[in-house]
Amino acid sequence: MERLILFVYQNRAFFTFLLLEIFCAWLIVENNAYQGTKFFNSSNGVVATMNSFSQSVRDYFQLSEVNRILAEENASLKQALEQQRIQVYPTNTIVIDSTAITRVDTTGKALHKYDFISAKVVNNHVDFFKNFITIDKGKDAGIEPGMAVISTLGAVGKVKIVSTHYSVVTSILHIDVMVSGTLKRTEHFGTIQWDGRNPEIVEFKYIPSHAAPVKGDTVITSGYNAIFPEGVMIGVIDDVKLNKAALFYDLKVKLSQDFRKLSFVNVVKNHRQKEQDSVEQVILKLER
């Protein structure tokens, strides 16, 4: 404190001059309309710039919360779309529509097929041959092994292991994972599988030579299993090759979801998955 007082005392002339300059500037602004207007316009501009910068900083640090809210809203919207498919019919009937056989409950109301649970990615790998993703929802949110996981941009993977508060998802970027996909334009279906190389590209197998796919064609999930809903985006054809003696195309698909930027996902709960699996197991046993 003594040093501060000594510093002010030693530079008292400078500080006196500075105070007088500030006082003079105040007198000019206070007593002249033109100078006063210019000063306040300039000061307002400076204050507005500072406020804009500080707001940008606050927005940046709030992005995680904003993304969480948007992910939950997205899950709610998907649920609302699923609910819109519900119609009322006479009790104890079975409704056959363009997508599936719909059971009807005792109230005569068709049961919706899917629920969507929003979750945040807390761990993610793209550098191995067998990649996994960890999300912050588990048994407490109703998640079970075998459920599909999607994002706003496309298919992500399948739930493998579940604890009370977390789930581990087998990523599409896993050399053992196969997903049934369809060429949206021609409706030919095949198998999506990663070759363990580029995390942006997967292979699309078993598309016959007469299908004539072209670069830029959209690839979506086929819905031919009880895991992924039909029509979920997978990616677009990036490379097309066909050997003269080959029966199938060698197709490369650029994934719509960049797994390096994956932050939030939706876990898809299929209410009819167990029923479909049980029926398919019965026919497999009969055929053996």
Residue keyed to tokens 């998802």: 169
Q: Is residue 42 part of a domain?
A: no
Structure token digits, residue 244? 């003269």
Nearest to 264 by CA among 69, 130, 111: 69
Per-residue pLDDT at 7: 78
Q: Is residue 261 part of a domain?
A: yes
Nearest to 264 by CA among 38, 75, 8: 75
Domain that holds residue 141: 114-280
Structure token digits, residue 52? 């804009």
Other Cβ atoms closer than 10 A to 1: 5
pTM: 0.65
Supply the CATH number for residue 166's domain.
2.40.10.340
Nearest to 197 by CA among 125, 124, 126, 255: 126
Per-residue pLDDT at 18: 84
The H or E element spanning position 95 is strand 94-96
Q: Is residue 274 part of a domain?
A: yes
> How many structural domains comprise the chain?
1
Per-residue pLDDT at 84: 59
Q: Is residue 137 part of a domain?
A: yes
Q: Is residue 218 part of a domain?
A: yes
Q: Are 249 and 241 in contact, with CB atoms under 8 Å apart?
A: yes
Q: Is residue 29 part of a domain?
A: no
Per-residue pLDDT at 273: 74
pLDDT digits (tens), the chain, 288 positions: 778 788 777 888 888 888 888 887 777 767 776 666 666 556 655 655 665 666 566 666 656 766 766 777 676 676 666 555 554 444 444 443 333 334 444 444 445 678 889 898 999 989 999 999 999 999 999 999 999 999 988 999 999 999 999 999 999 999 999 999 999 999 999 999 999 999 999 999 999 989 999 999 999 999 887 789 889 999 999 999 998 888 999 999 999 999 998 888 999 988 777 777 777 677 767 766
Q: Is residue 167 part of a domain?
A: yes
Structure token digits, residue 191? 């198998």
